[in-house]
Amino acid sequence: MSTITLDRYADVREAYRQHDLEQALYDAGGVVMADCLLVLHGSAHRTRRRVENRLFRRGTFRHWEHTFLREVVTDTLAPFVAAGHADLLELGYRTVMNLTAMVAGVDHSTTDVTETDALYRFAKKFSEGATLVHTTRDPAEVRAEVAAALDEFDRIFLTPSIARREALLDRLAAGEVPEDDLPRDVLTALLRHRDDLGLDRDMLRREVAFYLQAGSHSTADAFSHAVDDWFAWRARDPEAAEEARHDPALLQACVYETLRLHPASPVARRRALAAISLRGGTDIPEGSEVVLDIAAANRDPEVFDRPAEYDPARDVPSDVPRWGHAFGGGMHACIGTELAGGVPAAGSAEGAQVLGTVTLMLDALLAAGARPDPAAPPRRDPHSARDHFASYPVVFGDEA
């Protein structure tokens, strides 16, 4: 079987939109990914996505941002600021775990750190299962650990979350509660449409587990890189970096520039169900594997001037998002784009802006006076070929 790698921006965009290219990155990760939205194809994907999309309608996240998102971010940050130090990975996961659990429909206490940390532990294990294709460990061992984690997660979190929602749905059917009393989350939507979607209990739990890891890992990764890029920028050009810190639209552009340069998923992988010819001249034979090299395409010099340079104020063509392909495209385009990345604020009316969780997190961290810990440099993840930090210590307050 041949493998074709696409690394030009335009080729990747066209490939994302091909209906005859199906998901292939998670073939080894079936223990947690089988039948998940991200691996479904054609009408099965369309039907599931339509049900889940309703939660992610425009306006939902603007409402969230204007009502409670900022508080989630500042409340999670507060104990770290009081202690005088934080690790960006721990802080990032703590912040986004509560949000992704809420989106997924996993009931938990937002004030009990042990529950958040348990969810974090599960999300990390599910993520290891999803990316089994990249593991350097014995795959059977990882699979067994992920299966055990799914059982434990089910017992502690999922079973009670399902029971509460089923009771509410029964009461809705009996006319005892209004529609508005139902939680707006993926689990509730799936339970309501369980029969039309042909979902069994295992599929339900994998979909919820998938959401938990898909939303948290990528957002926490984007946050640590956004902070790292901004620190480096401040060292090079303190005036420009400080100006961005006080301008939400510019700070958001900083996050987009980070997403372009360090996409959380540096490659996507697809399988050709039919022969395809791309406009740029690449022929993809039926049955071949196609690697969409997002990291390379996001630095395509035909689209991004001085592509390797971090320049939040750069000009980009009007049909190209500032984050390039970091949120994917086509049928599997990230459903959480607006929650994580907001809507480009430049040009939006004041008050109509949706900055997104990563910008809110960056803003809160910088406002609290974070700087790299001079005694403990950041460490890259030694178990991943990907561009992830394993640890990023920061301290708060003035330099001595």
- Residues forming contacts to ligand HEM in the complex (CB under 6 A) are 23, 25, 37-38, 49, 100, 103, 211, 214-215, 218-219, 222, 259, 264-265, 268, 326-328, 332, 334-336, 339-341, 358
The residues near 312 (Cβ < 8 Å, ≥ 6 apart) are: 233, 244, 250, 253, 254, 256, 257
DSSP string, 239-274: HHHHHHHT-HHHHHHHHHHHHHHS-SS-EEEEEESS
Query: Between residues 150 and 264, which has the closer beta carbon with respect to ligand HEM?
Result: 264
Give 350's DSSP letter.
T
Please count the other Cβ atoms lying within 10 Å of the Cβ belonging to residue 147.
Answer: 14
For residues 91 and 370, the answer to whether their CB atoms sit within 8 Å is no
| Residue nearest to ligand HEM as judged by C-beta position | 336
* Spatial distance between the Cα atoms of 234 and 350, rounded to a whole number of angstroms: 26
Find the shortest distance in angstroms from Cβ 388 to ligand HEM: 12
* Spatial distance between the Cα atoms of 62 and 13, rounded to a whole number of angstroms: 27
Query: Between residues 41 and 171, which has the closer beta carbon with respect to ligand HEM?
Result: 41
Find the shortest distance in angstroms from Cβ 79 to ligand HEM: 23
* Spatial distance between the Cα atoms of 374 and 82, rounded to a whole number of angstroms: 18
Query: Between residues 341 and 393, which has the closer beta carbon with respect to ligand HEM?
Result: 341
The residues near 209 (Cβ < 8 Å, ≥ 6 apart) are: 32, 122, 126, 150, 153
Query: Between residues 149 and 335, which has the closer beta carbon with respect to ligand HEM?
Result: 335
Find the shortest distance in angstroms from Cβ 265 to ligand HEM: 4
Query: Between residues 6 and 81, which has the closer beta carbon with respect to ligand HEM?
Result: 6
* Spatial distance between the Cα atoms of 153 and 121, rounded to a whole number of angstroms: 10
Find the shortest distance in angstroms from Cβ 91 to ligand HEM: 15
Query: Between residues 228 and 373, which has the closer beta carbon with respect to ligand HEM?
Result: 228
Find the shortest distance in angstroms from Cβ 119 to ligand HEM: 13
For residues 17 and 329, the answer to whether their CB atoms sit within 8 Å is yes
Query: Between residues 34 and 177, which has the closer beta carbon with respect to ligand HEM?
Result: 34
Find the shortest distance in angstroms from Cβ 330 to ligand HEM: 7
What b/e sequence results for 238-249 when a residue is b if at least 16 CB atoms lie within 10 Å of its CB, and e otherwise? eeebeebbeebb
Find the shortest distance in angstroms from Cβ 186 to ligand HEM: 8
Query: Between residues 99 and 146, which has the closer beta carbon with respect to ligand HEM?
Result: 99
Burial of 385 (0-12, 13-18, 19+ CB in 10 A): exposed
Find the shortest distance in angstroms from Cβ 34 to ligand HEM: 14
Query: Between residues 31 and 268, which has the closer beta carbon with respect to ligand HEM?
Result: 268
161-to-131, 198, 205, 254 alpha-carbon distances in Å: 26, 20, 11, 37
Query: Between residues 81 and 96, which has the closer beta carbon with respect to ligand HEM?
Result: 96
Which residue in the block uniquely carries the two structure tokens 């306006």? 59
Find the shortest distance in angstroms from Cβ 380 to ligand HEM: 18
Find the shortest distance in angstroms from Cβ 144 to ligand HEM: 26
Specify the amino acid at residue 148: A
Of 182, 180, 183, 185, give the one whose Cα is nearest residue 54.
185
**Phi and psi at residue 230, to the nearest 5°:** -70, -40
